[in-house]
A and B are shown apart, each in its own frame.
Chain A
């Protein structure tokens, strides 16, 4: 880049800032032109586009520290971003600086003796598991985007994945984080080699969606690669029967490594795509069930799980015959969102959680909401922990369709809240779920969240406008706010 680009973004574009950042990271690692920034206008959630004022990509820990401190000195707002695979719009930068961390890809150490690893934030989730494999270990949280998403992003979102049913989410696997706060201060959270005393600030940091600072390194716990795995595919002629099988398995106390459900619309989309997994296309629902662990006793558990499926009305239960067969069954599940791309140009990927006992009722409600608004709903989700992903394929260029999808989404969220659930199990609030926060939490609770954010980032410069509605951030110790609660959108 020899000539200075013409400022494309009006007032917020700051050439002096771009030059100062380039002095830290090199000219090639600062993007300013509209054309260059286009790739960073979206994350994994379609339907939102926000253009950063500029983007900067440090390559080392030192550069990252220098960039954050420069932004602090100049009081500049910024959005941290990993691989940009998030599904809540959390990594979108609306006319503020986008700070990309995907170049920090060093696995600093793997301690096989103690089953832990220290990594930089840009290390890809699946890369860490591959690196741990020679020690007989793996990193347990496995979001569907694991071949692209980064550990830093996983920490920011408290990411889950199918196997979190047995192994737990990111929170349960991170032992320590060295973080740089938006002020430039570096803090150690947690304890990599012993107990952490005092407040659980590590727990608060995990899942803070980039609002509390940036992880410079992350110490994670690794788990043993399972000795044996049984993967079962059960097919049902009704969603209700599949949901009942889920309840029976959970109630038995057997904790499968994963317990996933896909409905007919999803099965058909997958089978019509390059990810075809051999799912029965005439099934109303399938369950993909994996149980793993020690070989001893596992066969008995697998047989019991198969029996629960049959008793609930499964037409057939088959076991993966070999690792290749297992991989194929999983590919269909993990690429289901991609396969839905065939159905329509756009896709709303939803994320909500309900008590597992309410699955049959809520799934029926979701189907009826879809019918009412004339929109298709494809369900593919972590049934074992009640974590729903109702997905709505649609054409965003059609305003009428968009309107219907919009209303259906709101009613689905309302149904999940009414069933005693929550509005996100693993994708985060980001930008997408902010309108529902008021429905789920009281003014006092939202104000407490704002107050906590202010401890980490008093000026709210990091990932501004995300997670908690701005109107909730009243003076914490003052009189209750006179703010207007926005009216819940009605259909």
Chain B
């Protein structure tokens, strides 16, 4: 199910045409700066329902910046304009036996620009890392309306200070991303998924799974814990489980399957389970991510699962990254928001708590500060007048 905009966005598209070049975007930003207004950056519009209190007067649509600029197949790199949907990149690269190994949660209609801007990731981060590990370079229009080219198009590069990493996860507040160059990978020769039934309690199972993952040389592409409700929503009616995605040549995958079986009863699952996992959550769901050292994740997962499942939601956890994602489908109204607030207040973790999506009225009281003095100085440097996405990041970067 694709996320789409709910309700009417508070912003309006400015009168002129949607820019179809970085220069056009730069002009729009300079105009906004000159007239002391602000812009909300939008491409596919899939983050508009994330509850973030962006208070921009106008919309800066990047929707016209779409398509592949350059695909260097032999070098496993692709340069694409920001509003290119992930599905389009997937289709283009699949023809060459390659892929952009990101597959973040959310619809494949989401754009690469938003994926980088929000640093979104999915189960494949277990093997391939997050957007910061796969982004080679980008073109951005800063808050002063200048076009900056960060990084490059080659797979290794330490020329100059790293503006590329800075733009990743900055939610557009340092610059509107107009084009990116990504590293690609070969699609695995064999790609098989197993579900391991969690036996002996969530915490103990998680701990055993992490021990296996840490010590086994048979590194999977993904190893994602799924709570019982999630398993059932995915059509795997077996209680809590671990989904393991194995990729490599036939001999590797066969050996890995045997090794995974040491964790418990395994069932082979169709690979489209990953696509379903990405897009399962209904529009308007609240999503909170809890972080811990992998060895402590069992306790976090177990605690969070009992809270969230009682409230009609579910959890899943990326062991390697030490992150549990808590999903609670939510409705509207003050009472419902109070219920959600109550759930969130029970979600704790020793390492981190990231608010991904909440009903808008809860945002201010729930989001933790997103930066420090240094971050505020970075924001003021790249967008001194707060033209781009004001309010989209928690204070003091709002």
Q: Which residues in A have some Cβ–Cβ distance to B below 8 Å?
A: 111, 113-115, 136, 157-158, 160, 164, 168-169, 171-172, 181, 185, 187, 191, 193-204, 206-208, 211-212, 224, 226-228, 247, 250-255, 293-301, 353-357, 382, 385-387, 420-429, 433, 437, 440-442, 444-449, 451-456, 467-468, 476-477
Contact = CB atoms under 8 A, between A and B. Distances in A.
B155 A353 contact: yes
Interface string B366-398: 001011111101110110100000000100010
Nearest to A189: B374
Nearest to A426: B158
Contact of A197 (B77, B133, B150, B352): B352
B251 interface: yes
A142 to B, nearest CB: 14
B34 to A, nearest CB: 13
Nearest to A169: B156
A111 B354 CA distance: 25
Interface of B: 72-77, 97-98, 119, 129, 132-133, 142, 144, 146-150, 152-166, 168-170, 174, 185-189, 214-219, 248-256, 289-295, 321-323, 349-352, 354, 368, 370-375, 377-379, 381-382, 384, 393, 397
A158 B187 CA distance: 28
Given A191-B351, A422-B157, A425-B158, A199 B174 contact: yes
B378 A201 contact: yes
A447 B382 CA distance: 11
A204 B156 CA distance: 16
B99 to A, nearest CB: 10
A148 to B, nearest CB: 19
Given A422-B154, A452-B163, A197 B368 contact: yes
A449 B161 contact: yes
Contacts of B372: 187, 198
B74 A357 contact: yes
B352 A191 contact: yes
A423 B152 CA distance: 10
Contact of B351 (A115, A164, A195, A437): A195
A193 B256 contact: no
A79 B217 CA distance: 42
Contacts of A427: 158
A455 B159 contact: no
Contacts of B186: 252-255
A194 B292 CA distance: 5
Given A191-B351, A207-B158, 18 more contacts: A157-B158, A171-B162, A193-B352, A196-B352, A198-B370, A199-B375, A199-B379, A200-B132, A200-B169, A204-B162, A293-B219, A294-B218, A294-B219, A297-B248, A422-B154, A429-B158, A440-B159, A448-B163
A250 to B, nearest CB: 7
B381 A476 contact: yes
29 contacts: A114-B295, A157-B158, A191-B352, A193-B291, A193-B350, A194-B291, A194-B323, A197-B354, A199-B379, A199-B397, A200-B165, A228-B217, A294-B256, A296-B255, A357-B72, A386-B154, A386-B155, A422-B152, A424-B157, A424-B158, A429-B158, A429-B159, A442-B148, A448-B382, A449-B160, A451-B381, A453-B161, A454-B381, A467-B160
Contact of A115 (B74, B214, B290): B214
A172 B133 contact: yes
Q: Taking chain A's interface residues, is the majority helix, strand, or loop, or is none over half, making it mixed? A: loop
A454 B384 CA distance: 14
Contacts of A385: 154-156
Nearest to B173: A199
Contacts of B158: 157-158, 160, 169, 207, 424-429
Given A455-B377, A477-B384, A441 B371 contact: no
Contacts of A224: 214-215, 217, 219
Contacts of B98: 253
Contact of A114 (B174, B216, B294): B294
B371 A445 contact: no
B256 A356 contact: no
Contact of B251 (A113, A171, A250, A300): A300
A211 B214 CA distance: 36
A298 B255 CA distance: 11
B321 to A, nearest CB: 8
Contact of A297 (B132, B147, B249, B379): B249
Contacts of B185: 253, 255
Contacts of A197: 352, 354, 368, 370
A294 B168 contact: no
Nearest to B379: A199
A206 B162 contact: yes
Which of A115, A172, A194, A228 has the most chain B CB atoms inside 10 A of its CB?
A: A194
A468 B291 contact: no
A191 B354 CA distance: 12
A452 B75 contact: no
A308 to B, nearest CB: 13
Contacts of B163: 204, 445, 448-449, 452
A201 B374 contact: yes
Contacts of B371: 198-199
Which of A113, A158, A386, A424 has the most chain B CB atoms inside 10 A of its CB?
A: A113
B217 A293 contact: yes
B352 A200 contact: no
Contacts of A444: 146-148
A421 B352 contact: no
Nearest to B155: A385
Nearest to B289: A195
A208 B162 contact: yes
Which of B149, B154, B290, B375 has the most chain A CB atoms inside 10 A of its CB?
A: B154
A247 B351 CA distance: 42
B172 to A, nearest CB: 12
Nearest to A112: B214
A203 B375 contact: no
Contacts of A455: 374, 377-378, 381
Contacts of B370: 197-198
Given A296-B218, A353-B154, A199 B166 contact: yes
B166 A355 contact: no
Contacts of B218: 294, 296
Contacts of B133: 168, 171-172
A195 B154 contact: no
A158 B133 CA distance: 13
A318 B387 CA distance: 61
Contacts of B157: 353, 422, 424-425
Nearest to B322: A194
Contact of B148 (A199, A420, A448): A448
B295 A113 contact: yes
Contacts of A201: 166, 374-375, 378
Contact of A421 (B132, B154, B164): B154
Contacts of A294: 216-219, 252, 255-256
A354 B214 contact: no
Contacts of B160: 429, 437, 440-441, 445-446, 449, 467-468
Contacts of B77: 355
